[in-house]
Amino acid sequence: MKLSDLTAIGRPVDPSYPTNRTIALIAGITAVGGSVIQLFLGAPWLQSALWGFTAGISVFLAWAIARELDPDRDLSAFVAAGLAIVGTGIWGLPNLGILLWLMLVVRVVNRTTGLSVKWSDSLAVLALGGWLAFQGNWAYAALTAVALWLDSRLPPANRPQVVFAGLGVVLTLVVLAWGEAAPAAGVSFAAGALAVGLAAVFLPVGIGSGRLVSVGDEDGEALVPIRVQAAQALALSVGIETALWGGAAGLSALTPFWAAVVGTAAYRWLRAFTASR
């Protein structure tokens, strides 16, 4: 049984590809190195191991999210992984739940797997987005609804998704009624402005994604540029909203995502600079 038989938003890491083997090695080294460093700092064995494991997963997610944001540039994802290692060392561990949800809603929209989302995928994404929303940020439910609505509208449209988008709206209203409707510390415009600045750096990647050569994992058909660009805009909206809502903590919660944003942009800027010389 293939992963695609179970889900349309799961992308297996095929070890036959050198890039996949490389990121697995980098994530493993990060996990071991992080655990050792924590031990030297005096943390208990189990806590050190969990810290290192989370750090390794964070680096992998930075790479994976970068592959979703910039599907035509394999190497830009490794710049993102490197920045994630540095970011984790400076700002600590991110929120893996938000990062996983972010990656999944992006895949719902950009369809890099080449498959239309299954109803079970939609329910799973709604459940994760709702759970995160009840943790203190109602916008995760709303942005899940936006992702599902985009999937129902963008070509080739998955029309039934409009039903799940409607469920996402209902879920958002439920969270607003019984969840936390405003951040405890107030909106952080400083963190939001920094996030907007980081998003602006990504502009060349977004513009460059108007023409793509990458194909879907399963169907081998060329990715649809408008879907990839819409997914990029959705991801940046998540990052900016999380920074506004959570301030510095919101920024650090998504360190691997911002590493992916800056890493893909830096790779694109560097290629443009070297080509002009």
Residue with tokens 């999380």: 242
Percent of the chain with pLDDT over 70: 96
- Give the Cα separation of 195 and 193 in Å (integer): 5
Residue 27: count other Cβ atoms within 10 Å of its Cβ.
23
How many whole angstroms separate alpha carbon 250 and alpha carbon 242? 5
Peptide bond into 15 cis (omega under 30): no
pLDDT bracket for residue 3 (50, 70, 90) = confident
Q: Is residue 185 scored above 70 in pLDDT?
A: no
| Residue type (1 letter), 254 | L
Give the domain extent around 85: 1-277
Total count of domains within the chain: 1
> Quick check: 118 and 246 in contact, CB under 8 A?
no
| Cα separation, 208 vs 268, whole angstroms | 9
Query: Is 25 exposed, middle or buried, given 0-12, 13-18 or 19+ CB atoms closer than 10 A?
Result: exposed
CB 232 within 8 A of CB 206: yes
Round to whole Å and give the CA distance between 30 and 88. 10
Lowest mean pLDDT among 174-183, 236-245, 256-265: 174-183
Tens of pLDDT, residue by residue over 80-135, are: 999 999 999 999 999 999 999 999 999 999 999 999 999 999 999 999 999 999 99
* pLDDT of 276 higher than 90: no
State the Cα angle at 273 between 266 and 258, rounded to 5°: 5
pLDDT of 272 reads: 74
Residue 76 is encoded by which pair of tokens? 């830009």
